[in-house]
């Protein structure tokens, strides 16, 4: 039986690390452990994370799909709740299928796993999220027959988010999500998500 005796875990974005591509990290760690403990090799590339979606109302980051914007289906002016309610569905429905994947491959003859990924981003009438890329490297080291160290790191390129205001008949600009003044809106600026993990495993 194997026990994880201790674990070092840290990231470049405190409080958000656990949201960074959890499926990718789990699958990569499983592949590293398979090679470390069985002495068998994985010769073929494998996908550790794959997602296809058309974003409607809720738009996510490229890493872990942390929500960037959750637009309501309809909105009334933030300044006058009795004013006309406007349907936002057409403004915040993506025109494309967002494709997100991470592909991995062990360099032959080594314990090094390289990872590369791509996220196509989303494009809707009032918000555009740019395509971005992922790069990572992982490895392991058998210390003795009963213990090993595992190392994983990776990160997404920072995506660019472009928003377009709503404009009324007087040419005044508003943030569409709540019809507040466009000049009061803080532009969405997602972080560049990265992670580093170091684990030590002991069999006893």
**CA distance linking residue 64 with residue 20, whole number of Å:** 5
What pLDDT sits at residue 19?
55
Per-residue pLDDT of the chain (204 residues; tens, 9 = 90+): 444 544 444 444 444 454 578 899 999 999 999 999 998 999 999 999 999 999 999 999 887 668 899 999 998 877 776 778 889 999 999 999 999 999 999 999 999 999 999 999 999 999 999 999 999 999 999 999 999 999 999 999 988 999 999 998 889 999 998 888 999 999 988 878 888 999 999 887
What pLDDT sits at residue 64?
63
**CA distance linking residue 168 with residue 13, whole number of Å:** 39
**CA distance linking residue 10 with residue 177, whole number of Å:** 35
**CA distance linking residue 137 with residue 113, whole number of Å:** 6
What pLDDT sits at residue 170?
87
Residue 185 is part of which domain span? 2-203
What number of other Cβ atoms are within 10 A of residue 119's Cβ?
Answer: 25
pTM here is: 0.84
The number of domains in the chain is 1
What pLDDT sits at residue 194?
86
- Tell me the average pLDDT of the chain: 87
What pLDDT sits at residue 130?
95
DSSP β-ladder status, 46-53 and 98-106: antiparallel
């Amino acid at each position: 039986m194997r026990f994880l005796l201790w674990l070092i875990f840290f990231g470049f974005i405190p409080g958000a690390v656990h949201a960074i591509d959890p499926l990718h990290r789990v699958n990569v760690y499983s592949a590293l452990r398979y090679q470390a403990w069985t002495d068998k090799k994985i010769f073929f590339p494998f996908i550790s994370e794959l997602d296809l979606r058309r974003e409607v109302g809720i738009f996510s980051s490229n890493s872990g799909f942390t929500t960037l914007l959750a637009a309501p289906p309809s909105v009334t002016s933030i300044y006058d709740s009795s004013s006309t309610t406007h349907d936002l569905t057409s403004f915040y429905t993506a025109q494309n299928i967002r494709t997100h994947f991470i592909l991995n491959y062990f360099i032959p003859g080594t314990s090094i796993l390289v990872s590369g990924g791509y996220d196509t981003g989303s494009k809707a009438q009032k918000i555009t999220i740019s395509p971005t890329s992922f790069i990572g490297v992982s490895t392991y080291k058998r210390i003795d027959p009963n213990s090993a160290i595992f190392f994983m790191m990776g990160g997404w390129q920072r995506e660019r988010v472009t928003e377009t205001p709503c404009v009324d008949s007087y040419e005044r600009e508003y943030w569409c999500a709540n019809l507040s003044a466009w000049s009061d809106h803080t532009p969405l600026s997602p972080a560049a998500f990265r992670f580093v993990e170091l684990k030590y495993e002991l069999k006893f």
